[in-house]
């Protein structure tokens, strides 16, 4: 049989799913200019396969315009069709950005940060996931044998990422049975999010070729450990110099980074509606599970909402370039462009307001601090359910203002429709259903 190569133009939607339309690859030059049509109401697809209340109904048209830099072509050379896809902006038919386009939201947020402060945010998304072909044995956390026993997956995955132009920093067997982790170096905000999407899709693509699957769902079982997405970030000037670090300040946090962090801390409960956006997110975000359930900035603490990450070595220039923070109340049921856009805008709000630097915890556990001690440091318990996160968003007009009104309305309607479906599910059922989706 003859094969006609297929290319997909895609976007990541509000539910963190990559969707789109394809065409014969021979049309690529034309399609990069003209795009491909898309239906506004498709934005209302929920994670669970239903459609939330749509303001567009059956009306209207938008366009997927591919970002040529995001083209992925990975041929696994096993007789299966190659992976061939692009990530797209969504435009109105007159070529202007659609007010509900996730990538345009992030681009606008990054442009605002640059215009107002002269600063650039660099970020990287650290992903954990479960591989169904892991062949785990008890106690193989971080084990060499866990890498051996998961067979061809790791190297095939790294090969696919390399072919797609994604540089990998580390790859390892994580703590839970069948759990692995992949990290990539920091990039500017847009590229970091593109990379996060490609990292997830090529993990799925690789597992599929090997007759298996991966799940990035934050919890695949109610017990045990979850899979997080840790969002690392730092601030840089336009000359490529790091500006988050200042050794003369407490904890090495520069004035501007302190303002940025305090902005995030102040709005973190509402940010959770975007960073940990599904019912299964809250089966992971439980106390003392190495996630981050408080809005604290913690020195090298893997249970802080915002961790001050370690630096290695003593050369001040190297330390300044390594210095970064990690937002831990995040997972892969979210859209990375939305996650980073709201984190960035919260940080920018902190800079605008000239907020005082946070008072980081070092040895203390927010859980055992008195309510007064927590309040003195603005440490809040993050939401304990998806409904509570959405309520926090609806109670925070500043965070609501981070999105164009119609996108905010669409997002809330989408999430409400999704949450209504799972309200009667047991934790086991929630895990099972979301493991399949993510
Ligand atoms: N698996 C943990 C999480 O759900 C993180 C473990 C780690 O610190 O890498 O976020
Ligand atoms: Mg990890």
User: Backbone dihedral region of 60: left (phi > 0), alpha (psi from -120 to 50 degrees) or beta?
Assistant: left
Asked whether residue 53 is assigned to any structural domain, the reply reads no
Q: Which residue, judged by its Cα, is nearest atom 5 of ligand 1? A: 290
Together in a domain, 275 and 326: yes
Of 68, 98, 128, which residue is a domain's last? 98
Together in a domain, 82 and 204: no
Together in a domain, 39 and 179: no
Tokens for 414, please give them. Answer: 């989408």
Q: Is the CB of 142 under 6 A from ligand 1?
A: no
Residue 227 CA, ligand 1 centroid: distance in Å? 6
Tokens for 21, please give them. Answer: 């339309």
**In terms of residue numbers, what domain contains 136?**
104-437
Instruction: Please tell me the total count of domains within the chain.
Output: 2
Tokens 């200019």 correspond to 33
Together in a domain, 34 and 160: no
Asked whether residue 78 is assigned to any structural domain, the reply reads yes
Asked whether residue 256 is assigned to any structural domain, the reply reads yes
Asked whether residue 52 is assigned to any structural domain, the reply reads no
Together in a domain, 155 and 22: no
Which residue numbers in the chain have pLDDT < 50?
Answer: none
* Residues β-bridged to residue 62: 38, 92
- Long-range contacts of residues 166-169, Cβ cutoff 8 Å, at least 24 apart: 166/195, 166/198, 166/199, 166/202, 169/124
pLDDT in tens, 278-323: 999 999 999 999 999 999 999 998 999 999 999 998 899 999 999 9
- 148 — phi, psi (to 5°)? -60, -45
Together in a domain, 166 and 89: no
pLDDT in tens, 68-90: 999 999 999 999 999 999 999 99
List, in sequence order, the alpha helices (H) in 75-188.
Answer: 102-117, 144-149, 153-163
Q: Is the CB of 225 under 6 A from ligand 1?
A: yes
Q: Which residue, judged by its Cα, is nearest atom 7 of ligand 1? A: 290
Task: Classify residue 314 by its DSSP letter.
Answer: S
Together in a domain, 358 and 262: yes
Residue 246: give its domain's CATH number: 3.30.590.10
The whole-number pLDDT of residue 402 equals 98
Together in a domain, 203 and 120: yes
Q: Is the CB of 281 under 6 A from ligand 1?
A: no
| CA dist., res. 15 & res. 416, Å (int) | 12
Q: Which residue, judged by its Cα, is nearest atom 3 of ligand 1? A: 228
The whole-number pLDDT of residue 224 equals 83
User: Backbone dihedral region of 392: left (phi > 0), alpha (psi from -120 to 50 degrees) or beta?
Assistant: alpha
List, in sequence order, the alpha helices (H) in 1-63.
Answer: 28-34
Together in a domain, 74 and 121: no
Residue 330 CA, ligand 2 centroid: distance in Å? 12
Helix (H) or strand (E) holding 231: strand 229-237
Together in a domain, 133 and 64: no
Task: Classify residue 361 by its DSSP letter.
Answer: B
Together in a domain, 84 and 182: no
| CA dist., res. 435 & res. 438, Å (int) | 5
Asked whether residue 284 is assigned to any structural domain, the reply reads yes
Asked whether residue 54 is assigned to any structural domain, the reply reads no
Percentage with pLDDT > 90 across the chain: 94
């Amino acid at each position: 049989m003859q094969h006609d190569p297929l290319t997909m133009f895609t976007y990541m939607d509000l539910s963190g799913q990559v969707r789109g339309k394809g065409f014969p690859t021979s049309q690529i030059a034309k399609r990069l200019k003209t795009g491909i049509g898309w239906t506004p109401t498709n934005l209302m697809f929920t994670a669970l396969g239903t459609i939330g209340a749509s303001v567009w109904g059956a009306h209207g048209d938008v366009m997927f315009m591919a970002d040529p830099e995001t083209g992925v072509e990975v041929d696994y050379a096993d007789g299966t069709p190659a992976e061939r896809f692009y990530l797209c902006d969504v435009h109105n038919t007159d070529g202007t950005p659609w007010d509900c386009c996730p990538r345009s939201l992030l681009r606008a947020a990054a442009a605002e940060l640059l215009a107002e402060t002269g600063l650039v945010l660099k970020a990287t998304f650290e992903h954990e996931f479960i591989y169904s072909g892991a062949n785990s044995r008890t106690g193989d956390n971080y084990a060499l044998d866990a890498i051996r026993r998961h067979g061809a997956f790791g190297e095939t995955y790294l090969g696919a990422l390399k072919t797609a132009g994604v540089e990998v920093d580390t790859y390892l067997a994580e703590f839970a049975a069948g759990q692995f982790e992949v990290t990539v170096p920091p990039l500017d905000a847009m590229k970091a999010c593109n990379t996060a999407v490609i990292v997830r899709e090529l993990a799925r693509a690789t597992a599929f070729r090997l007759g298996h699957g991966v799940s990035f769902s934050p919890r695949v079982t109610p017990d045990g450990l979850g899979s997080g997405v840790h969002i690392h970030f730092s601030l840089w000037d336009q000359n490529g110099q790091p500006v988050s670090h200042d050794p003369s300040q407490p904890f090495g946090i520069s004035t501007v980074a302190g303002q940025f962090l305090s902005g995030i801390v102040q709005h973190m409960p509402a940010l959770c509606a975007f960073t940990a956006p599904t019912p299964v997110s809250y089966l992971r975000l439980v106390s003392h599970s190495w996630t981050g359930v408080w809005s604290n900035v913690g020195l090298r603490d893997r249970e802080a909402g915002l961790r001050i990450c370690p630096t290695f070595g003593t050369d001040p220039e190297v330390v300044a370039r390594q210095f970064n923070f990690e937002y831990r109340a995040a997972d892969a049921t979210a859209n990375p462009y939305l996650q980073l856009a709201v984190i960035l805008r919260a940080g920018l709000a902190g800079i605008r307001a000239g907020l005082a630097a946070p008072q980081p915890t070092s040895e203390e556990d927010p859980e055992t601090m008195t309510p007064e001690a927590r309040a003195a440091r603005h440490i809040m318990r993050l939401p304990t359910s998806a409904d509570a996160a959405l309520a926090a968003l609806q109670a925070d007009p500043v965070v609501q203002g981070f999105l164009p009104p119609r996108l905010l309305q669409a997002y809330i309607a989408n999430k409400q429709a999704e949450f209504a479906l799972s309200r009667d599910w047991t934790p086991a059922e929630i895990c099972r259903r979301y493991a399949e989706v993510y």
